[in-house]
Chain A
Amino acid sequence: MALLEVKNLKTHFFTRNGVVKSVDGSSFSIEKGEILGIVGESGAGKSITGFSILGLIDSPGRIVEGEINFDGKDLIKLSENELQKIRGDEISMIFQDPQTSLNPVITIGEQMMEAILYHKKGVSKKAAYEACVEILKTVGLPAARKRMKSYPHQLSGGMKQRVVIAMALLNNPKLLIADEPTTALDVTIQAQILYLMKKLSQEFHSALILITHDIAVVSQLCDKIAVMYAGRIVEYGSKEDIIFNPLHPYTKGLIECLPKLNDEKKRLYQIPGIMPSLLGLPQGCYFKNRCEFSDDECDTYPLQQEINGRIVFCHKVK
């Protein structure tokens, strides 16, 4: 049985301008120790997917439908109290921007220890402290012990992200959700952090959901890939299938964007047009206005097709 199985998840925001269907019927699953990549442009609903799993949707948003089966429980049905026990313990999350992820007026040490003390009753403060120092060393933070007493503003962005990653790994979670963990960082540090994430999730036997807008990142790290567009998954399958044999025109476009090894100088390709606003979605396939294969058939939203164990939504894929 899969560690996490999300079925037909719908998370909608009820704003004054209308209903924003940020996540509209997503299904995917992840096994123990697996890495799943969720790719898509900014605003596609990737972060909201991550937040939904942890039940972190604030009003005016709400999970309106679906199942999130994790380790034999449907997380949607759990109470706030039960969720609190799972968050940071069995499932933890890393946010996009390390600059804003840490509380500016609480020391790194205290913020880290919280993650232990609220989950492991009976662990002494001292033991918790030592555990935090250990893990800071593991993520490669220089002068780990000294850093425990630091405040976030005294650390660089890369150091903060290491702290946030360390914090997420403290309780040896079964599932780690990393929401664009490197987007806000320098290019040089990005690679280090990604490598670290992969290494650690293997070491800790955690499953990893890696959320990113950068298909290059998923193509290197992931076992499975879900491609999101305007709130919906348009293609979902193994990394090999998606990267080497993309079926959906949007995925094909994304792969086009990847720099090729042999002709580096070639101008990077970009899919023309922009993703429609979630408040003004077109009739039919959402990708229609940017798709070179579209025709009248595409005025209805394509049905789900399963082809050799992968899932794709497109009329032109047979």
Chain B
Amino acid sequence: MLKYILNRLFHSVIVMFVISFIVFFIMFKAGDPVQLLLPPDATQQDVIEMRHALGIDQSFIKQYEAFLKNVAKGNLGNSFVYGQPALDVVFERLPATLELSVLAMIFSIIFGVPLGIIASIKPKAWYSKAIMFLSLSGISVPVFWTGMVLVLIFSVLLGWLPSSGRGEVYLFTSAFTWDGIKHLIMPVLTLSFFQLALILRLTRTGMMEVMMQDYIKLATAKGVPRRVVVYYHALKNSLIPLITVIGIQFGQLVAFTIVTETIFAWPGTGKLIIDSIQNLDRPIVVAYLLVISFIFVAINFIVDILYTFVDPRVRV
């Protein structure tokens, strides 16, 4: 077990190293942030000073070397734009993003799994077909379009829900205040619509495949009631692969907060990364990507551990 964990950790460090190098290189090639940072009437002297202050007047190798040395000290450099340590800037906004992603994932699972089961039991029934058509629309609608339609209906037309911001935050989330909840509803719905449809469809396919297995028929032949066969024997088998999907899809959710946060002016990392890429704020972009890939690695890891608990066939 320990060997496995160390192995995984080593692998992840390599991947993150590669990613940091690629991003660093691309951002180096992409251009000079100083043009964007200084006012248009800045003198040549200002430019030179600023480039020196940011450390970007050096060669690529030197810069990357400095970056690695800093990383060893747990420092990813200061943001060109905010002047603060890049990690701090990212961490400050991370809770808002994770809040959206986690809530959206919970919502998708709570509705996606049961609907998927219902649609699998009698695939020819009208309600199964209705669920399947809705889920097809779910995977066909771009996230930004869902968000727009919700805003149009609930903010512009009905005026029920606020269309931007995070509302009142208590502790680390807005889910504990009424005002916060009102701000959360639309972003979470927007983010979960696609996921819900996807989880629904995968649950359904999984259930239908499992229901054809011999052991399901044998359970019935043993006289186990249909209810137990479906909701225990079959479900237990089809939920296990779903764990992997949920792990992978959580990454997608985090990525798509970029769109959701743009629409709802949500103060998370999604908006930050878009702005930072456009400002060529390299430390922020690198920090963001490293943090995100760390989250992905962590989730993958959790999924693997979970597997060893829920799937008796897997032992590490």
Contact = CB atoms under 8 A, between A and B. Distances in A.
B236 A105 contact: yes
A118 B225 CA distance: 8
Interface string B282-316: 00000000000000000000000000001111000
A107 B218 CA distance: 15
Contacts of A97: 214
Contact of A105 (B216, B225, B311): B311
B137 interface: no
A24 interface: no
Interface string A239-252: 00000000000000
Interface residues of A, number: 31
A87 B223 contact: yes
Interface string A69-90: 0000000000010001111110
Contacts of B221: 54, 56, 87-88, 92-93, 95
Question: Main SS of the interface on chain A?
Answer: mixed
Interface in B207-225: 213-225
Given A80-B226, A84-B225, A105 B220 contact: no
Contacts, number: 78
B306 to A, nearest CB: 14
A105 B312 contact: yes
Interface string B235-254: 01100100000000000000
B312 A101 contact: no
B223 A101 contact: no
Interface in A123-170: 151, 153, 164, 167
B218 A104 contact: no
B16 to A, nearest CB: 34
A119 interface: yes
B233 interface: yes
Contact of B215 (A85, A101, A107): A101
Given A80-B226, A84-B226, A95 B218 contact: yes
B219 A103 contact: yes
Given A102-B215, A103-B215, A105-B312, A86 B223 contact: yes
A92 B237 CA distance: 24
Contacts of A87: 220-223
A106 interface: yes
B237 A104 contact: yes
Contact of B213 (A100, A118, A167): A100
A86 B220 CA distance: 11
A101 B214 contact: yes
Contacts of A54: 221
A226 interface: no
B224 A118 contact: yes
| Most chain B CB within a 10 A radius of its CB, from A86, A102, A103, A114 | A103
Contact of B313 (A51, A84, A86, A153): A153
Interface string A184-225: 000000000000000000000000000000000000000000
Interface of A: 51, 54, 56, 80, 84-89, 92-93, 95, 97, 100-107, 111, 114-115, 118-119, 151, 153, 164, 167
Interface of B: 213-226, 228, 233, 236-237, 240, 310-313
14 contacts: A51-B217, A84-B223, A84-B225, A92-B222, A93-B221, A95-B214, A95-B218, A97-B214, A100-B214, A100-B215, A101-B214, A102-B218, A103-B219, A104-B215
